[in-house]
Amino acid sequence: MKRILLVTTVAIFTMGFAQADGKADYMNSGCVGCHGTTGVSAIPTYPKLAGQNAAYTVKQLKDFQTGARKDPTMSAMAGLAAGKEQSIADFLAKQK
């Protein structure tokens, strides 16, 4: 009984982490200050990222990283999302 309880607890714990991943990646990458906690910025010149197609967001982040797209702010910021582009984009796509 104890064993089943332990396995269940670990499974729920792991599931919670898997779901929170994109959010955590976004929150911990320094994006929130400009783009807001859900990808909706209070500042008009910072684009809204919430609800954007994940594939588009991933491409923009990679383009900023490679220099294919240039912006004084984002070219510097995109590196912080390195390796986490997809999970951040998936999280943002689900926001409103």
Residue 33 identity: G
In whole angstroms, give the CA distance from residue 31 to residue 61.
12
Question: What is the nearest approach in angstroms of ligand HEC to the Cβ of residue 37?
Answer: 12
Question: What is the nearest approach in angstroms of ligand HEC to the Cβ of residue 20?
Answer: 17
Q: Where are the alpha helices (DSSP H) in the chain?
A: 2-27, 32-35, 54-66, 74-77, 85-93
For 32, the token pair is 């929130």
Residue of the chain from 27, 80, 86, 90 that contacts ligand HEC (CB under 6 A): 80
In whole angstroms, give the CA distance from residue 73 to residue 78.
9
Question: What is the nearest approach in angstroms of ligand HEC to the Cβ of residue 14?
Answer: 25
Identify residues 25-54 at the interface with ligand HEC (CB under 6 A).
29-31, 33-35, 45-47, 49
Please give the residue ranges that form the binding site for ligand HEC (CB under 6 A).
29-31, 33-35, 45-47, 49, 57, 60-61, 71, 73-74, 77, 80-81, 88
